[in-house]
Structure 1
Amino acid sequence: MAYAALLSLKHLLEHTLDHDYQYLILDEKQQIESLLQKLCFLQDFLDHSPQKSSETIDCLESQIRDAAYEAEDIIESHITDRVHEESASKSGDSFTPFCHQLEEVIEEIDSIKKRVEKIKDDNDVQDLQTRTEPSQPASSGKSSMVGLDDDIMEIKVRLTRGSSSIETLSVVGMGGIGKTTLTRKVYDDEKIVQHFDIRAWVTVSQNYSARELLLGLLDSMKKTTDKVREKSFEELADYLYKNLKGMRYLMVLDDVWDTNVWDNVKRLFPNDNYGSRIMMTTRLENVAGYENSCSPHHMRFLNEGESWNLFCENVFGKDGCPTELKQIGKRIVQNCRGLPLAIVVIAGLLSKATKTQHYWTYIGENLSSAIASNDDNCSKILSLSYKHLPHHLKGCFLYIGIFPEDYVIIVSKLVKLWIVERLLKPERSKSLEDVAREYLLELVDRNLILVHEKSSMGKIKGCRIHDLLRDFCVREAQREKFFHVNNMGLCGISEGTKVRRLIIHSYRKLNDLDICLHNMRPRSVLNFDLKHYHPLEIFINPRLLSVLDKKTVRIIEFPVNLRYFAFELRFGRSFPASLLYLLRNLQIFVCENLGSINLPLEIWEMRQLRHVKFWEVVLPDPPSAETEGKKSFIVLDNLQTLSNVVNFRCTEEVIQRIPNLKRLKISFKRGAVLERGYYCLNNLVHLLKLESLSCSIISSLSFWKNIAFPISLKKLSLKNCCLPWEDLTIVGSLPNLHVLKLLWYSFDGLEWEPNEGEFLQLKYLMLADINLENWIADSIHFPSLEHLVIEQCRYLKEIPSGIGEIPTLESIEVSLCGDSVVTSAKQIQAEQQSLGNDDLQVRIVNQS
C-alpha cells in the first residue's frame, strides 16, 4: 500500500500548503515543499515499476508506506495542536516547532529515494521482472464441466457458422469462473475437431514473450523441433504463417492480459476465407472487446442446480449425496455464489475428509478460510487479478473489503469514502468524483466488481464483490496494515498496535472495544454492525480521526480532523456552532436522523464541504459581506450535493456561494412564507452545473410561477406541486433532461397531452401516485424514451399504444395500477413481439 500511502500524504501536503499555511513557520513550510518533491519522485517510480512483486520491490514499498504514514501522523498531529492553541489563545506565538520530528522522516525518505535512484541507474528494475517461462499448451485430457450446456452450444455455433472471413471470439469473466474449462470443452468437442483442419492452444499469462507464444502455438500443432526452437521471432512467425496458410484453423490464446498480445500476433494468422477462428480467454473487458469481429461471450455464474451437480460430482462421483448431508451441503454450495473455482476447491477438500454432519457444518461456517488454507492455486488465481492492477487502483480495490459479506455497496458512498481516504490520483479538468467513477468502471471491466443495480440515469448505483475476492481483500489489507476488520472481537490485534482503519462488523464486549480503540488511535472508524441499535460509546482518541461512519456509535470527545462524518444527532435538533467551527476539513456531512435539524451560520465558512445530506435540514441565510464589513465572502466551490433543505431561500447571495452544485434536494412545507418571490426560485437557473433536482412543494401554487430550471439539468423529481398539466411544458423544453419523476400529486388534472418537440432527450419517465385518467401520447412525444415506470396511478385508464412504437423503448414496469393499465402494457408487448421486437420487457409487480 505504498502508493496509497504516498497519495494520501501528497493530498495532505498540498492541502497544508494551500489551506493551513497560517499554522506553519517558515522552516516547516520549506520542509513540506521539499518533502512534496521527493514524494513525486517516489510516486513516479512506483507508476513505472513492475506490477509483479519481487523481494526488493516489496521491501521498498513497505519502507515507503511506513515513512509516509509517519510523516502524515506528525504533520496532522501538530496542525491539530495548533488549531486548538489558536482557538484557546487566538495567537500563534506559542506554536511548538515540529521541524526536528519531520526532519527524521525526511531523512528516511531521502534514504529510500537514494536506493530507488540506484535501482533506476543500474537498470535493476528490468532485472526485477519475472522472466517469461515458455508457455505450455493446455492438457489434452477431457475437461470436466457441469452445466453451461447452452453456453457451449452457443460458442460452437459461433465458431462453425457465420462469416467465412477470420473472426475472433473472446470469453471473458472473473478469475475462477471457468473460462478456460469452458473453452477447453469446446476445443476438445468432436464436432469442433472435425470442423477445423488445425487447432492450437497456448496459455499467454501476464508476463509473456511473443517468441515463446509462437513456440507454444507450434508446440500445440506438433510442428517444433530442436532446429525450429533456434529460429528467431521473425523466422518463427513466417513458419507459423506458412503452416496455417490454406487451412481452416482454430487458435486459442488462453489467459490474455494485454491488448498488445493481439497487436503482436494478428498479422501471423492468414485470412483465406475458410472460416478460421481465434478464441481468447481474458478477465479484462478492454482486451475482450479489442478489435474483435464479434461480441465477447460473458461467463455467468452457475445457477443453484448447476452448482449442486458440480459439487456432488467432485465429492461423491457417481454416488449420490447422503440424505443427512444434503441440507448442509446445499448451504455450503450456496455460499460459493456460483463460482466454479470455489465449488471445486471446497468439494476437493470434503471428498478427502470424513463425511460427517459435524465436520461439514464446521466447513460451512468457515468456508472462506477453508478454501484459502487448503488450495494455494485458488489464492494464486484470485491474487493474479490484484497483482495486475495498476498501482492507483490497488488501494481502491482493497478498500472494498471493508464492507460485510453479501453487502450491496452503495456506489455514491463508496465514491465519497475513496475521496476522503485520499486514495484517488487527481486529474486535471476532472472532479475527484468523476475520477472515482472511472476507477469503479475499470474495476468492473476487470471483472473484480459486479454490477448489482443501475440508477435511472444509467450509472452504477449498487455493486457487489464475490465473497472469495472480498476475503482476499481483507487478508491483503491486514497484511499491508491498510485496515483491520473486527468480527465479534478484536482478535489478531496485539496490544499497542496502531490500526489505521478499523472496520466494525459486530462486537460482543463493549468495554474491550472501548479500551482497544483508545489505544489504537485509528484514523478511520466505520461501523456496519446492524444488530446493536443502542448507542455504543467509544472513547476514541480524536487527534487524528478523519473518517467516522458511526450509525449507532457515540463518541465522547469531538474529533477536529474529520473529513467524513456520518452520524445520528443525539443532542437536540440544532447542531452546535462550536463543533462546526472545529470541523474545518469536513468534506462529507451526513446525518441519518428523522426530522429537521437547524445548522448555524458557520456552515457557510466550511470551504472543504463536498456533500451535505440530511433527512431535513434548515440552512440559515448567509451573512452578506457588507453586514460583516468585508469586501468578499467565502465561496463553497467544492460543494456538489445539498440535500434535503427545507424552505430553501435561493437568493443571489446563496447561489454565489454554491456555484458548482450538481445535486440539490429541496422541500417547502405548509406554513412557509407565501409572499411571491420570497424564496427566489427563479434563481435556480443560475446554478449552471446543476444536474439533479428534487423539489417537493406542500404550499402555494405561487411557488411554481417563480421557478426556473438551468439547461444543465439531467434529472428532475417533482412532488406535491398539484400543478395543471399544461405547465409541464417548462420541464419538457429542458434540452438535457434524461430522467423525469412525477410523484405524489405533482400534477393535477384528468388529462395530459404533451406537446410535440418536447422531452427530446428523456430516457426515463416515472409516473407515481398522480391524479391522471387519460394520457394522450404517441412515439413522437418521447422519441428517446428507454424506460417507463407507472406506480399507483389508480385512475389511469391505459398506457397509450403509441408508446410501444418508440424505437428506443426497452422496458415498461407497472405496479399497483388498475387492470386496464396492466392489459394495455401486455398488449403493447404482444404487438411489438408480432413485429419481431422481442427486446421490450414488461414487468408487472405488486398487483393483487
Structure 2
Amino acid sequence: MAYAALRSLAQILHQTLNRDHQYLTLDEKQQIESLIEKVSSLQDFLENSSKKIKQHFERKIRDASYIAEDIIESHITDRILSESASHEDGILEKMSKRFNLIEKWIVSSSKPASSGPCTFVSVDDFMDIKGRLVSSSKPASSGPCTFVRVDDFMDIKARLVRKSSELEIASIVGMSGIGKTTLAKQVYHDPYIINHFQIRAWATVSHNYNVQEILLSLLNSMGVLTSNMHEMTSELLKERFYTNLNYQRYLIVLDDVWDTKFWDDVKQLFPNYNIGSRIMMTTRLGNVANYANSCPPLHRMRFLSDSESWILFCEKVFGNYYCHLNLEEIGEKIVQHCQGLPLATVLIGGLLSKATRTEHYWEYVAENISLVTTSIDEQCSNILSFSYKHLPSHLKWCFLYMGIFPEDYNIHVSKLVKLWVAEGIVKPVGSKLLEDVAEEYFLDLVERELILIHEKKSNGKIKTCRIHDFVRDLCVREAQKEKFFHVTNRSLRGIQEGSSIDRVSIHRNTNTCDDKILSSPHVRSLLNFDCEVTVLEMSNMKLLKVLHQQGTLEFSNEIAEWVELRYLDCISMHLPSISKLQNLQTIILRPDMRRPLYLSLDIWKMPQLRHVLLEYVILPDPSSVGIEGDRSVFVLENLQTLSLVMNFRCTEEVIKRIPNIKKLGIHYKDEEMDMEYYCLNNLVHLHKLESLKLTYFGFSFSMNLSFPTSLKKLTLVEGGLSLEDISIVGSLPNLQVLKLRSTAFFRQKWITNAGEFLQLKYLLLQSIALAGWRVDPTPFPSLECLVLKDCYDFVEIPDEIREIPTLRSIEIYGCGFSVLLSAMDIQRRSGNDGLQVLIDYSRIRI
C-alpha cells in the first residue's frame, strides 16, 4: 500500500504546484518540486526492489506519505479559505527532510557487503517479478465460475419440476466457495425452468438480513417493483408480494441463508396453492435447511473430483481443457492442493492465467500453497491472500477498496470507477482518460476471478458486480492492517489509538456511529450505507475528498469549506454555493422528483468536473456567467457525463462549453416552448458523444433530427417518431443500442430497409404504438438481443428476424399471444441453435 500512498501524494503535489501555485511562496514551490523528485524516486524503488528490502520500508514510506498529504492539503485549504499565501513555519522543508531520511535508510540497508554501488534488485528477484507479472499468452475467459456437474444440475431440476402439487423446499447445502449459488443460478436460468414456472424471484439473504430489503429484491426480480414501494412498511410489502403471486406456480430462490430465525420471519410469505410451487434455498448450514422442512434428502454439494478440478483449472488458465505438456505434472500438484474446492481452483487458475507459463513459476506456486494444511477454510483464505499479494502494485489498492462496500452489496461499476478516480488511486497512462484506465483495472481484477459479475448492461459491459464473502473478508482484514480504511459495524467497533481513519465506511446494522470517526478532522473519505449523518456531525471534516450518503443529507453552508471535495453522492433538496469546490470531479444528486432542483451558476465555473449526474435538475444559462476577456476558462474540458437535465438548451455556446461530453440525458416538459427553441440540431457538434437519452413529455420527436456519428447508445422516451426520423437513426454508423419507450409511430408501419442499423446489437421496443413492422430480407446484421415490452399492438415479429446469424435472445414481456407464437416459430425454424426465447407468461395477453 506504500506504492498507492505515494501515487496519491504525487497527484496532490502536482495539483498543488500547477493549480494552487498562487497560494504558495517561492520557497514552498521549490520544496514541492524537490518532494516530487523524492516521491518519484521512492516509487521506482518500490517497483524494482526485492521483496525483502521493500517490506522493510513500506510502512515508513506509507506513513510519511499519509502525513505529507494531510499537512499539504490542510495548509492549502486554509489559504484558499483565507485567499492568501502566507509565510509559515517551513513545514514542507520538514517533510522533505523526512523523505531524505527514508532514502538514506534505504541506501544504507540495501548496500551489499562489497564497496560496489547499491543494487536494489537481484537476478532471482527480477526473474520472480517478471514471471509473476508478464503474460506471454492470451488469458482465460473473464467470466465467473460456471462449472456445474451434470448430476447436480439434473437432481435439482428434477426436484423442482416433479409432479408433486405440494409446495416443496429444495435445499442446496455446502461450504462457502463450493458452488451452491452457481448451481442455483444455472437451474434458475434454465429455459425449461423458465417455461415451467409462471413466476420466478430471487433474493440474497446473507448473515445480516433485512426482511424489507428481501421483499424489495423479490418484487424487483418479479418485475413489479415500483418507486413508491421503497417507502412502504414491511407489512405492506408482504401484502403486495402475496397479492402478486396470485395463485400462480412460482419458484422462489433464497440464496445464502444463515439462520433458522430467517425462516420464521418469512415462511408466511409463501402460500401453498397445491399447483407445484417450489422454494430453492442455498445455505452453508444443514440445520437451517432441515428447520425449513426441506424435502429429504438435502442436496449436499461435494468437492470436485481430481478430473473435475483439472477440467475447471485448465478452462480458467488456458481457456480450454488442454494443458501444456511441460506444465501438466506440476499443474496436477497445484490442483491437488485446492482439495476440490471450486473457489480455490478458480482463484489459482485466474492467477496463473495472468502469469508467464514456466515450470519455475508454477513450482513456486505449488510450494507456497502447500503450506496450507489445517482446513479447507484456512486453505481458501491463504489462497485468497496469495492472490492478493501477487497483484501488481497498481491493482492492490483498487482490490482492497472493494471491502469498503457492505456484504452482498451490488456494486455499480460506473460508480466504483468514479470513486477510484476521485481517491487518486488511478495512475495516468498516456492520453487515456482516467476512467478508461480504471475500467482496465476493474476488468483485470475480473479476469483474476477476484470480482464476480452480477449484471450486464444492454451493450454487454458489466453493470454491477459483487465480491465473494471470502474475498471481502480478506479486503477488510488487509485494509485494517494497512490502515487503508475503517469499517464500523457490529464486528468492527472501536478504533485503536494512533490508527489511521482516513477512510471510513458505515454499514448497516450499526447501532451507533462512532463519534471518534465523525469528529475526526483527518477523515478523507466517508461512505455511509446506513447511518443518518448530518453536516453538523461532519463540520470538522474540511479535508473530505469523498462523500457517499445512502440517504438524505441536508446541507448547510459548511459544504463551501470542503475545498478538497472530489466526489459527492447523496439525496438532497438543495445545494448551497459550491464556488470554492474547485476540485469537485463527480456530483451525484438525487432530489425530490416532485420539485426540480435549481443549481447556481457556479456549476459552469468548475473546470475539474467530470461527471454531473442529476435527477430532474435545472441548470442555469451559462451565457449569464459574466466575465471579461477570454471565456475559454469556463470550458468544461473534463466533463464526460451530464444527466438528467430538464429543458436543456443546446445553444452553440453551451455546446462549446462541453466539447468532450460522452453521456448526455435531457428531459423536456414545457408546453409553452416550441422544440426549435432548444436547438437540438446542435447535438451533431458533440463529436465524442456516445450515449444520449431524450425524453419528450408532451412533444413530438419529429423535427430536424441530427445526431453525431460517434453515438453508440440512443434512448428515446415519449414523443412521436416519423418513418423519416427512424431512418435517420438507422443510418448512424456506430449505433449499438437503441431503446424506444412509449414512442408513437402515428399508427404507421415501420419498414426497416437494407443498409440500416448495421452495428445495432440491442433493440428494445416498449409500449410502442405501431401499426406493423416489416423488415428487409437481411435485417439488423449485428443484432444479438431483441426485447419487446408491453407492445400489445404488435401482431407478430417479422419472420425475417430468424435469418439474423448473430441473434442470441428474444425477450417478451407483456405482448399479445400472437407475438409469443411468432417468437416460438422463429426459434424453431432458426438455423441458430443458441437462440433463446425468454417469455414472461404472466404478462401475455390472450
State the TM-score, normalizing by the size of structure 1.
0.70
Show the 5 A alignment for 1:10-159.
10-50=10-50, 53-54=51-52, 56-86=53-83, 92=84, 95-97=86-88, 100-118=90-108, 119=110, 121-123=117-119, 125-126=121-122, 129=125, 149-150=149-150
Partner of 1:539: 538
CA distance in 2, matches of 1:410, 1:19: 31
Cα shift at 1:492: 3.4
- The answer on whether the counterparts of 1:449 and 1:463 sit within 8 Å (CA) in structure 2 is yes
- The answer on whether the counterparts of 2:347 and 2:384 sit within 8 Å (CA) in structure 1 is no
CA distance in 2, matches of 1:635, 1:255: 57
Cα shift at 1:110: 1.6
Structure 2 residue identity aligned to 1:391:
S
SS in 2 for 1:544: coil
- The answer on whether the counterparts of 1:680 and 1:706 sit within 8 Å (CA) in structure 2 is no
SS in 2 for 1:580: coil
Cα shift at 1:774: 1.3
Structure 2 residue identity aligned to 1:25:
T
Structure 2 residue identity aligned to 1:478:
Q
CA distance in 2, matches of 1:17, 1:252: 55
SS in 1 for 2:122: helix
Structure 2 residue identity aligned to 1:184:
D
- The answer on whether the counterparts of 1:539 and 1:555 sit within 8 Å (CA) in structure 2 is no
CA distance in 2, matches of 1:473, 1:289: 22
Provide closer, same or farther for how the CA distance between residues 131 and 823 of structure 1 changes in structure 2, counting only shifts above 3 A: closer
Structure 2 residue identity aligned to 1:660:
N
SS in 1 for 2:544: coil
Provide closer, same or farther for how the CA distance between residues 290 and 827 of structure 1 changes in structure 2, counting only shifts above 3 A: farther
Partner of 2:269: none
CA distance in 2, matches of 1:413, 1:431: 15
2:350 pairs with 1:284: yes
Structure 1 residues 765-787: Cα deviation after superposition (integer angstroms, max 9, x where no partner): 00011112311124522111011
2:816 to 818, 821, 834: 818
Structure 2 residue identity aligned to 1:753:
I
CA distance in 2, matches of 1:696, 1:215: 58
- The answer on whether the counterparts of 2:705 and 2:728 sit within 8 Å (CA) in structure 1 is no
2:565 pairs with 1:562: yes
2:315 pairs with 1:184: no
- The answer on whether the counterparts of 2:666 and 2:694 sit within 8 Å (CA) in structure 1 is yes
Provide closer, same or farther for how the CA distance between residues 523 and 790 of structure 1 changes in structure 2, counting only shifts above 3 A: same
Once the two structures are aligned, what percentage of the paired residues are identical? 49
- The answer on whether the counterparts of 2:764 and 2:788 sit within 8 Å (CA) in structure 1 is yes
SS in 1 for 2:488: strand
CA distance in 1, matches of 2:32, 2:537: 34
Larger Rg: 1
Structure 2 residue identity aligned to 1:561:
E
- The answer on whether the counterparts of 1:810 and 1:839 sit within 8 Å (CA) in structure 2 is yes
- The answer on whether the counterparts of 2:637 and 2:659 sit within 8 Å (CA) in structure 1 is yes
- The answer on whether the counterparts of 2:555 and 2:572 sit within 8 Å (CA) in structure 1 is no
- The answer on whether the counterparts of 1:721 and 1:747 sit within 8 Å (CA) in structure 2 is no
Provide closer, same or farther for how the CA distance between residues 746 and 9 of structure 1 changes in structure 2, counting only shifts above 3 A: farther
Structure 1 residues 772-810: Cα deviation after superposition (integer angstroms, max 9, x where no partner): 231112452211101111101011011111111100111
SS in 1 for 2:394: helix
Partner of 1:847: 843
CA distance in 2, matches of 1:130, 1:606: 45
Partner of 2:520: 519
Structure 1 residue identity aligned to 2:694:
C
2:529 pairs with 1:528: yes
Show the 5 A alignment for 1:515-664.
515-519=516-520, 521-529=522-530, 538-552=537-551, 553-554=553-554, 557-558=558-559, 559-570=562-573, 572=574, 575-576=575-576, 579-595=577-593, 596-623=596-623, 628-630=628-630, 632-664=632-664
- The answer on whether the counterparts of 2:310 and 2:332 sit within 8 Å (CA) in structure 1 is no
- The answer on whether the counterparts of 1:452 and 1:462 sit within 8 Å (CA) in structure 2 is yes
Cα shift at 1:287: 2.6
Structure 1 residues 285-320: Cα deviation after superposition (integer angstroms, max 9, x where no partner): 88389999xxxxxxxxxxxxxxxxxxxxxxxxxxxx
CA distance in 1, matches of 2:5, 2:23: 23
Show the 5 A alignment for 1:470-481.
470-481=472-483
CA distance in 1, matches of 2:524, 2:534: 20
Cα shift at 1:482: 0.2
Partner of 2:405: 403
Structure 1 residues 682-733: Cα deviation after superposition (integer angstroms, max 9, x where no partner): 11011010000000112444x6424310000000000112122332111011
CA distance in 1, matches of 2:597, 2:346: 57
Partner of 2:679: 680
Provide closer, same or farther for how the CA distance between residues 825 and 117 of structure 1 changes in structure 2, counting only shifts above 3 A: farther
Provide closer, same or farther for how the CA distance between residues 540 and 58 of structure 1 changes in structure 2, counting only shifts above 3 A: farther
Cα shift at 1:829: 1.0
CA distance in 2, matches of 1:831, 1:290: 46
Show the 5 A alignment for 1:354-393.
375=378, 377-393=379-395
Structure 1 residue identity aligned to 2:106:
V
- The answer on whether the counterparts of 1:415 and 1:436 sit within 8 Å (CA) in structure 2 is yes
- The answer on whether the counterparts of 1:498 and 1:520 sit within 8 Å (CA) in structure 2 is no
Structure 1 residue identity aligned to 2:122:
Q
Provide closer, same or farther for how the CA distance between residues 289 and 724 of structure 1 changes in structure 2, counting only shifts above 3 A: farther
SS in 2 for 1:462: strand
Provide closer, same or farther for how the CA distance between residues 26 and 652 of structure 1 changes in structure 2, counting only shifts above 3 A: same
CA distance in 2, matches of 1:630, 1:649: 23
SS in 2 for 1:538: coil
2:6 pairs with 1:3: no
Cα shift at 1:545: 0.7
Cα shift at 1:39: 1.2
SS in 2 for 1:104: helix
CA distance in 1, matches of 2:627, 2:126: 68
- The answer on whether the counterparts of 1:779 and 1:806 sit within 8 Å (CA) in structure 2 is no
SS in 2 for 1:748: coil
SS in 1 for 2:547: strand
Cα shift at 1:460: 1.1
SS in 1 for 2:487: strand
Provide closer, same or farther for how the CA distance between residues 479 and 782 of structure 1 changes in structure 2, counting only shifts above 3 A: same
Provide closer, same or farther for how the CA distance between residues 651 and 819 of structure 1 changes in structure 2, counting only shifts above 3 A: same
The runs of 5 or more residues in structure 1 that have no matched partner are 87-91, 133-146, 154-173, 190-200, 205-212, 221-250, 257-278, 293-340, 350-370
Structure 1 residues 200-259: Cα deviation after superposition (integer angstroms, max 9, x where no partner): x9xx9xxxxxxxx98995xx9xxxxxxxxxxxxxxxxxxxxxxxxxxxxxx847479xxx
- The answer on whether the counterparts of 2:647 and 2:670 sit within 8 Å (CA) in structure 1 is no
State the TM-score, normalizing by the size of structure 2.
0.70
CA distance in 1, matches of 2:380, 2:351: 22
- The answer on whether the counterparts of 1:779 and 1:802 sit within 8 Å (CA) in structure 2 is yes
- The answer on whether the counterparts of 2:637 and 2:657 sit within 8 Å (CA) in structure 1 is yes
2:456 pairs with 1:460: no
Partner of 1:838: 833
- The answer on whether the counterparts of 2:49 and 2:120 sit within 8 Å (CA) in structure 1 is no
Q: Note the aligned Cα RMSD (angstroms).
A: 3.6
Structure 2 residue identity aligned to 1:384:
F
CA distance in 2, matches of 1:489, 1:590: 30
Aligned length: 640
SS in 1 for 2:815: coil
Provide closer, same or farther for how the CA distance between residues 345 and 507 of structure 1 changes in structure 2, counting only shifts above 3 A: farther
Show the 5 A alignment for 1:67-466.
67-86=64-83, 92=84, 95-97=86-88, 100-118=90-108, 119=110, 121-123=117-119, 125-126=121-122, 129=125, 149-150=149-150, 182=304, 184-185=306-307, 252=332, 254=334, 282-284=348-350, 287=353, 375=378, 377-466=379-468
- The answer on whether the counterparts of 1:454 and 1:462 sit within 8 Å (CA) in structure 2 is yes
Provide closer, same or farther for how the CA distance between residues 188 and 763 of structure 1 changes in structure 2, counting only shifts above 3 A: closer
Higher RCO (CA-CA < 8 Å; seq separation 6+): 2
CA distance in 1, matches of 2:624, 2:333: 67
Structure 1 residue identity aligned to 2:101:
S
